[in-house]
Amino acid sequence: QKEVEQNSGPLSVPEGAIASLNCTYSDRGSQSFFWYRQYSGKSPELIMSIYSNGDKEDGRFTAQLNKASQYVSLLIRDSQPSDSATYLCAVGGGGYQKVTFGTGTKLQVIP
Amino acid sequence: NAGVTQTPKFQVLKTGQSMTLQCAQDMNHNSMYWYRQDPGMGLRLIYYSASEGTTDKGEVPNGYNVSRLNKREFSLRLESAAPSQTSVYFCASSEGTGDMYEQYFGPGTRLTVT
């Protein structure tokens, strides 16, 4: 059984700060990693995907992957109140259609 | 381009009733998925279809059936609803080829079984 672990939070950060969200996974064969944002009452929205070790940046978001440590993180720079949501980490195997989702970390950005 | 659409948005059923949740995507994706989301449990895969004509069980398939009607449409059927099936149901799709495994979600169906 693949497991994806996230701290449920809430993680509270002041507006303008960097929010750091973390995720660990159990399957060493995992090769695809995703971050989704989910606002209350809405569906998950893909914000980042990462497949290789290292950092991947997209605007204010940076995904970091360390396969040796089985760890993936999401950094949100210059956090805004509109970033307040639950962030879901998802992990999949290479050449494999299914992903396993973590239970999510709730982020609160305080104005 | 509507992405992934789901109907209905809300539904209330009595125990033992049946219903079908509909899902369609217009992104020409090969793979489609049905998830349920419950508080504290995260998203759990019910069934998936890697390509047109194929379906397979996910983590929590009991009490559900699916049909991949064509490349665009993937339906989820509850034959005899139970209160334990009260949940939010999401359909998703992905390219499903090469390295393209990103999944895109529909707006969800909120189902209550009394």
DSSP per residue, A40-59: TTS--EEEEEE-SSEEEEET
Mean pLDDT within B45-65: 93
Closest CA of chain A from B86, distance in Å: 15
A38-52, A94-108, B58-72: range with lowest mean pLDDT: A94-108
pLDDT at A107 over 90: yes
CB of A49 within 8 Å of a chain B CB? The answer is: yes
How many whole angstroms separate alpha carbon B89 and alpha carbon B68? 17
A92 contacts on B by Cβ (under 8 Å) = 101
User: For A16-48, what is each residue's pLDDT tens digit?
Assistant: 999 999 999 998 988 889 999 999 999 999 999
User: For A44-77, what is each residue's pLDDT tens digit?
Assistant: 999 999 999 999 999 999 999 999 999 999 999 9
pLDDT at B50 over 60: yes
Closest CA of chain B from A100, distance in Å: 8
Closest CA of chain A from B17, distance in Å: 25
* pLDDT at site A31: 87
Confidence band, pLDDT 50/70/90 cuts, at residue A1: low
Mean pLDDT within B68-94: 96
CB of B16 within 8 Å of a chain A CB? The answer is: no
Per the CB < 8 A criterion, the answer to whether B7 and B91 are in contact is no
* pLDDT at site A36: 97
Mean pLDDT within A10-19: 97
Look at chain B and count its residues.
Answer: 114
Which residue's structure tokens are 């914000």? A47
CB-CB: which of A97, A98, A103 is closest to B42? A103
Confidence band, pLDDT 50/70/90 cuts, at residue B98: low
CB of A42 within 8 Å of a chain B CB? The answer is: yes
Query: CB count, 10 Å around CB of B104?
Result: 18
pLDDT at B99 over 70: no
Amino acid, single-letter form, for residue A110:
I
Closest CA of chain B from A46, distance in Å: 7
CB of B94 within 8 Å of a chain A CB? The answer is: yes
B90 contacts on A by Cβ (under 8 Å) = 43-44
How many whole angstroms separate alpha carbon B69 and alpha carbon B75? 7
pLDDT at A95 over 60: no
* pLDDT at site A97: 67
A99 contacts on B by Cβ (under 8 Å) = 101, 103
